[in-house]
C-alpha cells in the first residue's frame, strides 16, 4: 500500500508542451484537469460514474478499442481504482502481445494469477500468452499441455511440439479460443466469489469482437481437430496414435459449453460492461463508432466512452498546442454528432507528459480518470 502513496506521483505534470511541463509545486496537479474542461461544452456530461461501478451488479469490465489508444493504461487504472476502493479485483490481459506486465512493471507471464506488487486487493494475469520460439524449444510446450487438457494430447506426439505450435498458432481464431478457455477457468473462480470485479484488457477492435465469437471459433477448431484425426488415421504410420477412442470428445464438448457460458455472460448487461477507449482524432472516433455498432450487433453492452490523451487545460497556447487543441475539439464534436457514440457516457482522460507506467503513475491516473 505504501507505494500507492508514493509522492513521485506528484511529478506527473499534466502539461502537454515543454513550456508548462513543470507546474508550480504549490498547485495541485489534479486541479489542472478537474476545474475546467475547455472543450466539454457541447458534449455529454463528463461523469466517470465510478460510484455506480462499485455499487452496481456488474462484475466484468471489458476494455477495448483501436490499437495503441491506451486500452491497457485505462484498464489498469480502473482495476487499480476498484482495488483501492477495497474490492478484490482481477485484471486479465487477453492480448496476443501483452503489455500489462510492463504497465505494472512486474513479470506477469506464465498464465497464472498473481498479486500486483504494492497494491492491496489487486491481482493480475496475462493469459493465452504463447511465444512460439520459446515454447517450441520446450518438449512439454504450452500448446501440448493445452491439448492434453482437452484430451487431444495424442495429436502432439506424432507431429512434434514445434510443428504443432506453428500449425495451431497460424490457425485463425485458435489464440482467441485458447484465451477464452482460460477465461472460462477464471469465470469459475469468480463464481466462487474470489474476485468482486474482473477487468479484461483486450487487443485491438477486431480481436475483442473475435473473443465474442470464440464459441464459433472453438467449434471450428473442434471440427478441424476431428478432420485431422480422420485424415491422420488413414495414414498407416500414424494410425495407432490417432485411434479415435483415445480422444476425449466429451471433455471437448464440456469445454465448448463452458465457453458458450462465458459468451452469454459477456452479453448480459447485469454482469458485463464494455468500455470503449479512443483518442481525440477523427480516425479513432470513426473506428470507435464502427466498434460500437459491432458490439451492439453482438449484443455486447457498452455504456462508457473514454477519450484518452486529451490535451489538458494546462497546455499552453503555442502553435503546436493550439493546432492540436483545434483538432481535438473537432474530434470531440464528432462524438456528440455521432449516432453510435453520442448516447454513451463520456470520460476524458488527459494526456500526461510521462508514460502511464508503474504503480505510482497508475495510482495518479486512476484518480484523474475515475470519479
Ligand X SMILES: Nc1ncnc2c1ncn2[C@@H]1O[C@H](COP(=O)(O)OP(=O)(O)OP(=O)(O)O)[C@@H](O)[C@H]1O
In the chain, what is the greatest distance between 2 CA atoms, to the nearest angstrom?
Answer: 80
Q: Distance between CA 304 and CA 278 in Å, rounded?
A: 11
Only segment of 28-36, 66-74, 127-135, 167-175 that touches ligand X (CB under 6 A): 66-74
Judged by CB under 6 A, the residue of 122, 356, 359, 362 near ligand X is: 356
The residue from 352, 358, 363, 370 that contacts ligand X (CB under 6 A) is: 352
Judged by beta carbon, residue 156 or residue 335, the one nearer ligand X is: 335
**Closer CB to ligand X, 76 or 178, in the complex:** 76
Among 67, 86, 140, 343, binds ligand X (CB under 6 A): 67
Q: Which of 28, 56, 68, 172 binds ligand X (CB under 6 A)?
A: 68
Among the listed residues 110, 135, 134, the one whose alpha carbon sits nearest the alpha carbon of residue 124: 110
Whether the CA torsion 91, 350, 369, 2 is positive or negative: it is: positive
Selected binder of ligand X within 15, 53, 71, 335 (CB under 6 A)? 71
76/344 with CB nearer ligand X: 76
- 342 is a contact residue toward ligand X (CB under 6 A): no
Comparing CB distances to ligand X, the nearer of 69 and 82 is 69
What distance in Å separates the CA atoms of residue 193 and residue 87, rounded to the nearest whole number? 11
Shorter beta-carbon distance to ligand X: residue 83 or 352: 352
The 173-212 site mask, x for binding ligand X (CB under 6 A), equals: ------------------------------xx--------
Closest separation between CB of residue 6 and ligand X, Å? 17
Selected binder of ligand X within 69, 79, 124, 183 (CB under 6 A): 69
Identify residues 19-58 at the interface with ligand X (CB under 6 A): none
| Residue of 272, 368, 365, 371 whose CA lies nearest to 72 | 365
Nearer Cβ to ligand X, position 252 or 352? 352
Cα angle 359, 364, 369 (rounded to 5 degrees) comes to 120
Taking CB under 6 A as the binding criterion, the range among 54-62, 134-142, 335-343, 353-361 that sits at the site for ligand X is 353-361
Pick one of 59, 72, 197, 314: the residue that binds ligand X (CB under 6 A): 72
Helices (H) and strands (E) in the chain, counts: 15, 8
Site string for ligand X, 74-113 (x = CB under 6 A): ---------------------x---x--------------
Residue 290: which H helix or E strand, with range?
A: helix 282-297
Task: Please give the radius of gyration of the chain, using alpha carbons only, rounded to the nearest integer.
Answer: 23
CA atoms within 13 A on the CB side of 242: 18
Q: DSSP string of 100-154?
A: HHHHHTS---SS--EEPTT-TTEEEEE-S---HHHHHTSTT-HHHHHHHHTT-HH
Phi, psi for residue 203 in degrees, rounded to 5: -80, -170
Q: Are 72 and 355 in contact (CB under 8 A)?
A: no
Q: Which residues bind ligand X (CB under 6 A)?
A: 67-73, 95, 99, 203-204, 308-309, 349, 351-352, 355-357
Amino acid at each position: 500500500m505504501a507505494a500507492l502513496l508514493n509522492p513521485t506521483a506528484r511529478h506527473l505534470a499534466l502539461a502537454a508542451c515543454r513550456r508548462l511541463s513543470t507546474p508550480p509545486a504549490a498547485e495541485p496537479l489534479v486541479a489542472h484537469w478537474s476545474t475546467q474542461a475547455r472543450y466539454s461544452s457541447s458534449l455529454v456530461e463528463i461523469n466517470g460514474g465510478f460510484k455506480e461501478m462499485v455499487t452496481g451488479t456488474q462484475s466484468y469490465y471489458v476494455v477495448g478499442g483501436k490499437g495503441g489508444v491506451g486500452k491497457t493504461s485505462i484498464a489498469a487504472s480502473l482495476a487499480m481504482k476498484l482495488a483501492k476502493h477495497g474490492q478484490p479485483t482481477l485484471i486479465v490481459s487477453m492480448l496476443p502481445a501483452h503489455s500489462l506486465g510492463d504497465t505494472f512493471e512486474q513479470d506477469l507471464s506464465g498464465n497464472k494469477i498473481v498479486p500486483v506488487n504494492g497494491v492491496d486487493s489487486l491481482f493480475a494475469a496475462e493469459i493465452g500468452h504463447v511465444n512460439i520460439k520459446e515454447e517450441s524449444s520446450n518438449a512439454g510446450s504450452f500448446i501440448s499441455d493445452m491439448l492434453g487438457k482437452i484430451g487431444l494430447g495424442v495429436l502432439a506426439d506424432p507431429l512434434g511440439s514445434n510443428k504443432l505450435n506453428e500449425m495451431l498458432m497460424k490457425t485463425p481464431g485458435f489464440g482467441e479460443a485458447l484465451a477464452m478457455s482460460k477465461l472460462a477457468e477464471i469465470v469459475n473462480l469468480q463464481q466462487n466469489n474470489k474476485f468482486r470485479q474482473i477487468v479484461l484488457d483486450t487487443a485491438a477492435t477486431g480481436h475483442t469482437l473475435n473473443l465474442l465469437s470464440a464459441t464459433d471459433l472453438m467449434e471450428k477448431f473442434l471440427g478441424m481437430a476431428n478432420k485431422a484425426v480422420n485424415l491422420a488415421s488413414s495414414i498407416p504410420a500414424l494410425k495407432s496414435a490417432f485411434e479415435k477412442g483415445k480422444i476425449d470428445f466429451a471433455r471437448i464438448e464440456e469445454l465448448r459449453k463452458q465457453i458458450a457460458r462465458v459468451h452469454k455472460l459477456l452479453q448480459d448487461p447485469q454482469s458485463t460492461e464494455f468500455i470503449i477507449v479512443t483518442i481525440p482524432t477523427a480516425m479513432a472516433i470513426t473506428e470507435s463508432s464502427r466498434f460500437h455498432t459491432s458490439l451492439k450487433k453482438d449484443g455486447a453492452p457498452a455504456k462508457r466512452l473514454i477519450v484518452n490523451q486529451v490535451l489538458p487545460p494546462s497546455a499552453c497556447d503555442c502553435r503546436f498546442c493550439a493546432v492540436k487543441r483545434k483538432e481535438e475539439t473537432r474530434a470531440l464534436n464528432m462524438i456528440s454528432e455521432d449516432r453510435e457514440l453520442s448516447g454513451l457516457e463520456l470520460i476524458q482522460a488527459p494526456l500526461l507528459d510521462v508514460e502511464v507506467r508503474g504503480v505510482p503513475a497508475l495510482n495518479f491516473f486512476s484518480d484523474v480518470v475515475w470519479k
